[in-house]
Chain A
Amino acid sequence: MTGRSAHHDTFVIERRYDAAPARVFHAFADLEVKSQWFGGPDDWTRGKHHFDFREGGSEGLSGGPAGQAPHHFNATYHDIVQDQRIVYSYAMQLGTQRISVSLATIEFLPAGKGTLLKLTEQGVFLDGFDDAGGREEGTRGLLDKLGAWLERQNTQ
């Protein structure tokens, strides 16, 4: 923990699928289908998946690397337009610490016979958090940046 802070970010991901918007939408709306592709990495333990897909309904899922504090995902659905759009907000917690809160908008746009899925996520990252694995990745990233910076200096 490094004191109180709030950092914001937005990202957009687009994917084309050879399936009609209704089928892609269904993969978000049906628990049995959604649990086949949503959730953490395959080697994570998984808790019970709470799923109430309707406006005002909530979704909850926990899981994490074996022997470590679990990640908790808790969402509330705000706007559901059949086959067209889903808007929900969700919080991510590691153990008891809230890490981030996000607003996710998923649009299912017709594209020929298929679908253009557009995901927009706007989030706030809260207070920083202590994560050994992430820190290690981060350190590697820093050292890579240092290497690249040194290389640039050498070529100038």
Chain B
Amino acid sequence: MKRFKAKFGDGIREAWQDRKQSILVVETAKLRAVCEFARDAEKFNMLSDLTAVDWPKREKRFDVVLQLYSFSKNERLRIKAAAGDGEAVPSVLSVWPAAGWLERECYDMFGIRFEGHAGLKRILLPDEWQGHPLRKDYDILQQDEAWVRENMGIESGQ
């Protein structure tokens, strides 16, 4: 963590440990640079997971969360970057090809755009679906009723 701070200075907003797990909050614009550094210099060569968390009351409502793993150190590292609604986050696809589907899922579920991801489209939901279900303001019973009616031939809720 110290090495990350020494390298990026203010680019690392916060760093702490929660239940023995290292967490870094980075400035969104520097996300890709931090990830390249993590992969090359710090040997975090696998991206285990990429997801997001919605905090609607915050000024920048989304946290993009990356779980990294280093084979040589047998360590995990979590990197977070905040993003406002409609704000684009740099894609880490060029750093880890694993991000391809994970970023698409993130876009699908939260509506976060990843800059530099060429094939960014929905992955689990139909392409024409309206809304992003894992946002906190998307009700659990909510559906794209027009889509359901048109494609399934039923009224939603049936």
Are A and B genuine complex partners?
no
Chain A residues at the B interface, C-beta cutoff of 8 Å:
none
Chain B residues at the A interface, C-beta cutoff of 8 Å:
none
